[in-house]
Chain A
Amino acid sequence: MLELRVNGGAFELDAPVGTSLADALRDRLGLTGTKIACNEGHCGACTVQLDGVPILSCITLVHSVGEREVTTIEGLRDHPLVEAFVRADALQCGFCTPGQIVSAAALVETDPEPDRDVIRHAMAGNLCRCGTYPRVEEAITTWRA
């Protein structure tokens, strides 16, 4: 039995050794806002925060999380970035969007007014095939508006 701290709550779950954090969140806790698009750490769709640091949950073993607090998109549903993404039309199909917002939330936590280069550096690991990048940049630039 494993205890996982997620979005302010504590959950006990059974997971075989080797289970990824992404699978545990999605399949065991029903937190399907975390998406799996490549399942090998290349695209950023599965991004969650561990103690505020964005990580790729599809290549993180759930047993390695320990005491750290997991923050998923469900824990950020009222973050102003969510509104900012909708306002700026920073989503099309939306499959990458939760991961984008989780990454962006970690960014603005440390740098509330990131400039363009900082945004591009911090967000380059979150792929979007629809090409919403200009809108993502605008959303992060205007998130407190």
Chain B
Amino acid sequence: MARLIKTEKEVEGRYTEQWVVVEEDVLDQWPAGARRVVGRPATRVDGLQRARGEARYTADVQLPGMLHTAVLRSPHGRARVKRLDVGRAMQAPGVRGVLTPRELAARDAADWPGEPSVGPHASEVLTCEPGYAGAPVAAVGAETFGQALAALSLVRVDWEILEPLLDGDQAVRRGSLLGEPRRYERGDLDRGLAEADLVVEAKYRTQVVLHNALETHQSVCRWEGDTLEVYTSTQWIWGVRREVAEALGIPADRVRVVCEYMGGGFGAKNDAGDHTFIAAELARRTGRPVRCALTRRDENRATGNRNATIQRLVAGARSDGTLTALGGEFVNAVGYDGFSPFTSGPMQLLYGCPNVRTVDYGAQLNTPPNAAFRAPGFVEGTFGLECLLDELAARLDVDPLELRRRNHADHDASDERPFSSKRLMECYRRAETHWARRAEVRARSEAPWRRGVGLASQVWYGGGGPPSYAWVRVGPDGRAAVITAMQDIGTGSRTAMAQIAAEELGLPLDRVDVALGDSARGPYASISAGSSTIPSMGPAVRSAAADAARQIVEIAAQRYDREERVLSLRDGHVVSTDGGSWPLEEIAGLLGDGQILGKGARGPNPAGMRVLTFGVQVAEVAVDVETGEVRVERLAAIHDVGRVINPLGARSQVEGGIIQALGHTLSEQRLLDPLTGDVLTQTLDAYKLPTIADVPEIVVEFVDQPDTHLTNLGAKGLGEPPIVPTAAAIANAIRNATGADVRSLPVSREEMLRALRETRGRAEEPVGASTA
């Protein structure tokens, strides 16, 4: 019988309670270690389609009669539309529809006698009072994108330009906040500081970073009878389905969301987005399929970003390195809208310090709204905290690795919960060989290059949660199909699901297909964000495969006169302990056109436990102390994410996270026009993404031990952990190389030279002498 219980669900550090129905047959986890399929490297099951350009992304959807959309966006950070004249645009060649803000409907009613066949007044996503440069104001649908753009240039706007608020500190002073400040304290910070032998304080800044997935945000909408089809580049098919259904006021089953292949998201594609609503509305009005795809420039203005932070931190410790106090004031410069990330999270979770006090402010500014970007808050918070800890270690003359061991958190002190599993100490142990290279690396310094090694720890979520469902279908040909309406955003989740089903069904990987990416084809699946796809979906897939396997055994037992307990599935056969062996296709083939259908659901999270991922990274850098150039030469990453399903894909995830972190640390920065608040770095030559030539040697290791409390797999997520500690590890390596404390990201040459000058100013700490 199904049992109804409450469980806790976490996405990107935000918790909700969730009712979940638990089936009775809870599967035991597989023993640790590589199995026949799970835990062994598997190339991507969709690799050939992607590599050959055969995979159809949203960008490749071409429907007969499809219109294209151009969107007029505010060039001002804060302004009011006094007058919007779309008359000429509506008459332009190829134009089939023009959308303007709803507010105009009342104001300009007299200008639009009668209801034009394609009316000008539309969606609530368009605004007359843009609060950031890039906010959508009007949209034109035309036969070609060129015609839409040409028509857009005929729209006349009279602006009342207002002064934008662009500075986070200023916003906090003025009380321009999104939500209340989040305050947290355990123990007593002031007492902890009083007990300390040494107190260090510092201010850190992190910059705005742009996601820049190579496929821009886009949707194609088409009405098929009373059903809206939405082809969209999304991280959450079911989230888009719900959002669109609610916005349109239609039953959710009348919205079909399709995303079979997806060109990257990194957190920016968790929501339906303005472009989807614009396309849906234009499709409704014109009766035509409509594409709304952002240009690269608009992508960098209006689709989210990693917000800037300002962090004022303090740490106190006894002379042996035991932390007595950690305090932080974190300003998240969120933007006009968005969310205030948990930037204080690492300070609360990473160490067992008894006295911790934090406050997070979410500053509302006239800048583009933020969006989740790969471990939002924790990337930024880890940079500040882990840099400050190395400064503390240096001043106390305690080895930085030893300092971290000494302050290891053996439970979640923020609410006294045990961890479901934590193997950070094992990560530290494995880091020793990389850490031991310090003397040799430093000895390779030769003017003007100075070399050094630094490390930083990682904590982040990654436990996923219910609900999530999967079906498994076994046909008479002895092949299996996993069916679930999840998405593979490029992380390789399609492959991991195939591996899990193949393992449970005793099938070779090439006899399992995965049908995903279509809300009309499979059951509910959770979001691909918060490192949750594998821990949320994987257990549901295993459970569905186990259901099918059980039925296969039952059929075989009856057909071949054996007891079920002597039968199991292996290498595409049902085998008996007495030596009997029957190909799966023979058993499934008995049913003719019949199918064996298994269903599975994600069970609850372990009650009363904190599920987190852990790791450590060790960076080696070379710094040109004359020019301020920083080169990362080697990065070693050791992560504990429970069981690793696919070591090949997992290594790629870690390398990719580290390479994104390299950009975040050294080269990437969104710049704004200080007068208008508009984005200056809109193009991929102005905004400096890492290239292949920037990549250092990267060494990847996993602890790879199942979390015995977490689901039937013991696997946590891995998408985000590798990006978390890299910036701090690099900054700490810079300190080890030069004695200079960089405190602002990116570590541009200016910032590096500033830090070097500051160090030279401190006579008592000669360059290079601060850490052994």
Contact = CB atoms under 8 A, between A and B. Distances in A.
Contact of B693 (A37, A38, A120): A120
Contacts of A18: 146
Nearest to B293: A36
Contacts of B148: none
Given A38-B296, A39-B296, A93-B263, A129 B48 contact: no
Contacts of B26: none
B43 A87 contact: yes
A125 B46 CA distance: 25
Contact of A129 (B50, B213, B692): B213
B214 A131 contact: no
Given A95-B214, A133-B659, A86 B53 contact: no
B53 A127 contact: no
Contact of A94 (B263, B653, B655): B263
A13 interface: no
Contacts of B652: 89, 92, 130, 132, 135
Interface string B485-496: 000011110000
A82 B51 contact: yes
A86 B47 contact: yes
B50 A91 contact: yes
Contacts of A33: 52-54
B53 A72 contact: yes
Contacts of B658: 131
Contacts of B165: none
Contacts of A86: 43-44, 47-48, 51
A54 interface: no
Contacts of A136: 692
Contacts of B50: 91, 93-94, 97
Interface in B198-223: 211-216
Contacts of A50: none
B119 interface: no
A35 B691 CA distance: 18
B692 A119 contact: yes
A121 B656 contact: no
B53 A32 contact: yes
Q: Which of A40, A101, A129 has the most CB of B within 10 A?
A: A129
Interface in B471-522: 489-492
Nearest to B49: A94
Q: Which of A77, A86, A95 has the most CB of B within 10 A?
A: A95
Contacts of A31: 53
Contacts of B685: 42
Interface string B422-441: 00000000000000000000
Contacts of A128: 214, 692
Contacts of B211: 129
Given A32-B60, A86-B44, A129 B295 contact: no
A74 interface: yes
Interface in A65-87: 72-74, 77, 82, 85-87
Interface residues of A, number: 53
Interface string A106-145: 0000000000000111011111111111111100000000
Given A82-B48, A89-B652, A123-B692, A131 B657 contact: yes
Contacts of B263: 35, 37, 93-95
B722 to A, nearest CB: 10
B607 interface: no
B259 to A, nearest CB: 12
Interface string B664-691: 0000000000000000000111000111
Nearest to B216: A37
Interface string B377-401: 0000000000000000000000000
A119 B693 CA distance: 9
Interface in A30-69: 30-40, 42-43, 45
B490 A92 contact: yes
A98 B56 CA distance: 13
B664 to A, nearest CB: 12
Contacts of A32: 53, 56, 59-60, 62
B359 interface: no
Contact of B264 (A40, A89, A95, A134): A95
A123 B694 CA distance: 11
B58 to A, nearest CB: 10
B214 A45 contact: yes
B658 to A, nearest CB: 7
Given A35-B59, A92-B492, A124-B691, A74 B215 contact: no
Contacts of B46: 94
A21 interface: no
Interface in A1-28: 18, 26-27
A95 B59 CA distance: 10
Interface in B642-659: 648-649, 651-653, 655-659
B54 A131 contact: no
Contacts of B216: 37
Contacts of A132: 652, 655-656
Contacts of B238: none
B57 interface: yes
A39 to B, nearest CB: 6
Contact of B52 (A43, A74, A120): A74
23 contacts: A30-B62, A35-B57, A38-B296, A38-B683, A73-B52, A77-B52, A82-B48, A82-B52, A86-B43, A86-B47, A89-B651, A92-B656, A93-B213, A93-B263, A96-B214, A97-B51, A98-B52, A126-B692, A127-B684, A130-B652, A131-B659, A133-B695, A134-B655
- A-B pairs with lowest CB-CB distance, top 7: A33-B53, A93-B490, A94-B50, A131-B659, A131-B656, A95-B263, A86-B47
Given A35-B263, A40-B684, A92-B652, 5 more contacts: A34-B53, A35-B53, A94-B46, A120-B692, A123-B692
